[in-house]
Structure 1
């Protein structure tokens, strides 16, 4: 189903005679707030593992190379899980998908606490892919809600508002670092994971009160009519709302027509950019401890400051994307981030210089994702929006796998962590910005 504007499209088709139901101001803001906290705690669980990896490795006696290899295997398992969530959400609905993803976060945290060996850890951390899919489900749901909201303040600034939601990444990362710094000495790394389950459970329960998006409700009605062989009735209903009516195959739809180019380009951009995410965000404490010789306790405190600055990057890029175009804002941000991280790794000496350059690098590395996730939702129709965003999102994990494999090989050959971070993280981030210029500009989702 393709959502169009509420006026004639200019292609000779009759204008729609009915509008999708509007979503009230209170319901819109409630959905926004819940989506923010759900993403915060999904990221919290995901980053908690990377933050605690040095501690886990120490307790199990793993070398740097083995820890990097384990992280790579986890990325592979995560990719498989992420790829399956999108089609499921396009089939079951946005609301059920949002409950599923945050529930997956709670399960992943709980079972990680029982880790007994590397194989077990790889298996249970792969479940974190359910929580990582949160951002794709959020962007799908909020794209559709904002398109039909009665809240004009949000509708006019949807990119900026979504940046506040997507800003849950640095907030979740910050909380993970702060949580470890405060509670690791008291409850150990297992206790840190166990305690992380409770916020996710609360969010999962709160999501039961959300409504389904009107776009998906219409898609469900059309599917039901087709299933009953009432195709002519389905065609008339679709025409009433000004949408195209055809049976959907979401995984094929994202490679058809105007969607194909952005599916390919954005997948490649995510793949390459996650070289930087894996190195500087997921394994940030390792970069500081091994690459810049910062103590583990100090690295946690510095990482809190770095991610606080990173949150401001989300707000800035959401605001700039509304005004300057999301594609260009993403591309220039990532290119600048690569340069800043390269300077941090090569010329920065002393805490102030390292934190300043690391913070600004993170500002322009993770900040553009507030524009990227909303941009992705605008690239696809209702029938395949969750599949498209999840498919692209899944390419983050092959990127993390490749980054981990290259780092493992470099460390095994005698390279320093700083050299590996420069070649894999900084250069990868820079290249991802150039890739973004091949993407098509898109219109906003219509109600």
Structure 2
């Protein structure tokens, strides 16, 4: 995957390759736990006697807890380091799975508290983006030129983890029950923790740590959540956060609730929901690779804007298309391609947009807007539906329109230059180690 011999500040091609594989599997199994709960919630609800409405309310509160935990991970990673951050998030995902099996049947409040720890798994993607954006930027030019595509391979762990959760649940649930499925999910993450301990810290964080005692007063002030809203980073935080939040309206409506929207609007009966799941995740994976590659060619900000605006138009066309399976599925699949694919470029773009001192914090803050956007989309769609509107109208106003606007909004983010990430800090490493 990486064909170089030695990178800056003692980071070899072998180190970079090893980090790529570890972060890929860390993300796959973090997603596995994250998706597994949604897959098994109906089974848990049946076991506990919870109504469908109560399960939806439970999922909303868990989304809030997930956002809070994910937000707290960022500042922690900016203090403890990227390597330790990966160990933290993977361990958190494993603990969340294990505790769900043990305490998931102790009542709704306990379940909300336990599943909120899923925020560690959700935060894995931003920690990966922070770590790899620094690692790839410090590598030789042959790697740096295609860093976006390499990261897309890692971010592609989302559909792999989702499919793994669906497939293994279908196989294991009849034999070991829902508690056993969560215990099984914890095991791979514990193995990844062992491998993660062998990761090398990124050169940029090493530079930051070595220079910390000699930092200027301005740099000392630029830390934590407060630092993301100071100086030139304020615009970055506000624009990226708002775009992320709005785009998750589209994620909630067309990805999470996609089957519901299509069947209600076009009266299409999906006899096998697994086929739809496989199709959407396959399209999403191809989209990750495509936009990772495209971001390296035309710039990540441009690739994201292009994808999300096209996605909003395609989903609008899907909603108002004739009631025919062929056109509906074609427009839906293309919409997912342009909706999900840009996230490979987005998360890497976020990593390139913040300075080392608050890179993980900024990424976590922006990513935490996702679950909030999902909650707002759900509330808005529910309000319209309760007022007598159709899913067609609700999905348009709280799915397609916000998706299109998020593509326009991302254009307001400052352009991140890959050269800004490594060069001055790596020079400091060499001077400090001399």
TM-score range, shorter chain: 0.7 to 0.9
> Which residue number corresponds to residue 137 of structure 2?
147
DSSP 3-state at the match of 1:196 = helix
Residue 146 and residue 176 in structure 1: after superposition, are their counterparts in 2 closer, same or farther (change >3 A)? same
Inter-partner Cα distance in structure 2 for 1:271 and 1:25: 36
TM-score for the superposition, normalised by structure 1: 0.84
CA-based RMSD of the aligned residues comes to 2.6
Matched, 1:437 2:411: yes
2:316 pairs with one of 333, 336, 342: 342
Inter-partner Cα distance in structure 2 for 1:100 and 1:285: 34
- The structure whose RCO (Cα within 8 Å, separation 6+) is larger is 1
> Which residue number corresponds to residue 174 of structure 1?
163
TM-score for the superposition, normalised by structure 2: 0.86
Matched, 1:396 2:386: no
CA deviations over 1:204-229 (Å, ceiling 9, x no partner): 22100101112111222223xx2xxx
> Which residue number corresponds to residue 238 of structure 1?
none
> Which residue number corresponds to residue 5 of structure 1?
none
1:372 pairs with one of 346, 364, 388: 346
Q: How does 1:328-339 map to 2 (within 5 A)?
A: 328-339=302-313
Q: Give the superposition deviation at 1:323.
A: 1.1
1:31 pairs with one of 19, 24, 45: 19
Contact 1:285-1:303 at 8 Å conserved across structures: no
DSSP 3-state at the match of 1:212 = coil
> Which residue number corresponds to residue 77 of structure 1?
65
> Which residue number corresponds to residue 360 of structure 1?
334
Q: Give the superposition deviation at 1:353.
A: 4.1
Q: Give the superposition deviation at 1:38.
A: 1.0
Contact 1:178-1:300 at 8 Å conserved across structures: no
> Which residue number corresponds to residue 4 of structure 2?
none
> Which residue number corresponds to residue 191 of structure 2?
202
> Which residue number corresponds to residue 446 of structure 1?
422
Inter-partner Cα distance in structure 2 for 1:330 and 1:135: 17
Q: Give the superposition deviation at 1:248.
A: 4.2
Inter-partner Cα distance in structure 2 for 1:407 and 1:400: 11
Mean CA deviation greater in 169-178 or 375-384: 169-178
Q: How many residues align?
A: 412
Inter-partner Cα distance in structure 2 for 1:206 and 1:140: 19
Q: How does 1:416-435 map to 2 (within 5 A)?
A: 419-435=393-409
Q: Give the superposition deviation at 1:326.
A: 1.1
DSSP 3-state at the match of 1:130 = helix
CA deviations over 1:89-126 (Å, ceiling 9, x no partner): 00111111100001111122222234233323322221
Inter-partner Cα distance in structure 2 for 1:338 and 1:186: 42
Matched, 1:124 2:98: no
Matched, 1:300 2:274: yes
Contact 1:68-1:404 at 8 Å conserved across structures: no
> Which residue number corresponds to residue 28 of structure 2?
40
Q: Give the superposition deviation at 1:286.
A: 5.0
Inter-partner Cα distance in structure 2 for 1:66 and 1:410: 20
Question: Could you list the runs of 5+ residues in structure 1 that have no partner in the other structure?
Answer: 1-18, 236-243
Say which structure is richer in helix.
2
Inter-partner Cα distance in structure 2 for 1:326 and 1:57: 42
